[in-house]
Amino acid sequence: TAKKRRNYGFREAALLNRRLSWMRTEKLNNNEEGLKAAADAIALTQAGLALTQPGDEQYVALRREEMLAEAVRGTALLRLERPKESQEADKRSLAVADDLLARDLDDAQRQEIEEERGFLEQRIASVMATLAAGQP
């Protein structure tokens, strides 16, 4: 249907922006541009989510992209030595992961989200320890 194609387009656009963000941050060390691409990915997921119903297939796909884009945003912020903002992005990503895990997912989706959740918990704890020690 037209609605499904439109929602699929939001997911694909968000996915491309998230990957662009990751590439700029991880491979090109261009954290400012990576941060912008992550923000674009998140904005696209939000626009797409406004057109979906919680729990449907496109909702889950868009929330997954939102979770991953927030994590990439957290990486870019950490590399820009903005640990508090990085931690906020990771906490938003973790909240999305928890929302998704509360839903009916297939085993592969659940495992992927649980793995991402574990990564986020570790990074949040690491940043908290760094902040507690007074390091930048």
Note the pLDDT of residue 134. Answer: 80
| Tokens coding 122 | 């570790």
Q: Decide: 41 and 69 in contact? Cβ < 8 Å.
A: yes
Residue 120's pLDDT is what?
A: 96
Mind listing the pLDDT tens digit for each residue in 58-90?
A: 999 999 999 999 999 999 999 999 999 999 999
pLDDT, residue 101, reads 96
Residue 39: both structure tokens together? 């923000």
Closest of 39, 66, 38 to residue 52, by C-alpha: 66
Per-residue pLDDT 10s for the chain (136 aa) are: 666 666 678 999 999 999 999 999 999 999 999 999 999 999 999 999 998 988 888 999 999 999 999 999 999 999 999 999 999 999 999 999 999 999 999 999 999 999 999 999 999 999 999 888 886 5
Considering the entire predicted model, what is its pTM? 0.91
